[in-house]
Amino acid sequence: MRITSWKMQRWTACAIALVSFGVGSMITARLAHINQVMADSNRVFEMHIYHTVPGKVPALESQFRNRQSKLLAKHDLKIVGYWVPEGTPDWDNTFIFILAHSSREEAKKNWDAMRADPDFQELIRENSEPASKLVEKVDVTYMRPTDFSPMK
């Protein structure tokens, strides 16, 4: 009976060592991957805040839903999301969207292509007329993710 107990302890010790090695290897591989992603990434996000003519947020939403989103996608401008602030009167006439780019250079290249697109130029002309003006001002900010950000 002593021999069986001794063999069992040996197998248990081997199993624990094997599991510990496996778990340690997975953790090390994950940490190495995180460092590599952070070191190699030039990804940036671009936030647009549209300050609309009072009461024109629904019209701007409709324009993005029906036309502008398709133009952005056509020129590889990747939308993260669209937002309309709620509950704060100072933000009542505001529409926000965020884009993701692999780099600032890629963003510039894609925006230049979109600005040259005749469909985009037509959209700008339509929105420049006083009767159909939707936007008073646009704020654009480029942002880089922090090293602890869940979205990179």
What is the predicted pLDDT for the residue at 3? 55
What is the predicted pLDDT for the residue at 36? 46
- Residue 84 clears pLDDT 50, i.e. is over it: yes
CB within 8 Å of 140: residues ≥ 6 apart: 46, 47, 48, 49
CA–CA separation, 147 and 152 (whole Å): 8
In the chain, where the domains are located: 1-40, 44-143
Which pTM does this prediction carry?
0.71
The predicted model gives 82-96 an average pLDDT of 93
- Residue 146 clears pLDDT 80, i.e. is over it: yes
The predicted model gives 18-28 an average pLDDT of 56
State the pLDDT confidence band at 24, using cuts at 50, 70 and 90: low
What is the predicted pLDDT for the residue at 40? 47
Determine how β-strand 44-52 pairs with β-strand 135-143: antiparallel
Q: In the predicted model, what is the mean pLDDT of the chain?
A: 83
The predicted model gives 117-140 an average pLDDT of 91
CB within 8 Å of 127: residues ≥ 6 apart: 63, 133, 134, 135
Which fold does the domain 44-143 belong to in CATH?
A: Alpha-Beta Plaits (3.30.70)
- Residue 11 clears pLDDT 70, i.e. is over it: no
What is the predicted pLDDT for the residue at 111? 97
What is the predicted pLDDT for the residue at 127? 83
